[in-house]
Amino acid sequence: MLTDDVRRVPIAFLPTPLVEMRRLTEELGGPRIFVKRDDQTGLATGSNKARKLEFLIAEALDEGADTVLTVGSAQSNHARQTAAAPAMHGLRSVLVLRGSRPDHWNGNLLLDDLLGARVHWAGDEPPHETMMEMAREE
């Protein structure tokens, strides 16, 4: 396997189950259909992003990083997962989110805050440029 020689840190509850969708298979007249339940990875309500973060957080730790930055939208599952994974391993997270700060935080944005992420709003600026500015500040 390609990842055998690459360090990873434990984040996800793996393997996640495969669930047969019997009624859908029956409705379609076959073939057998299965769903991989990556919502059960355990990291901040689950997602397939946890698999990738196992490698990225290991790399950040190996490089001596203290902060992980990413770009996303206000309700991004990716941003939520990136807020949770560094927190598990003693790292800070900075989320550069598109647009402007909403009046009320809910959903993933509320979870980002509860997970301790520093949230920065890109406003009308290109989010990746804003992220580079934040990286220089951190």
Positions marked active-site: 76
Q: Are the C-beta atoms of 54 and 8 separated by less than 8 Å?
A: yes
Is 117 exposed, middle or buried, given 0-12, 13-18 or 19+ CB atoms closer than 10 A? Answer: buried
Largest CA distance in the chain: 58
DSSP letter at 46?
A: -
Nearest to 108 by CA among 69, 78, 71: 78
Q: How far apart are CA 16 and CA 70, in angstroms?
A: 25
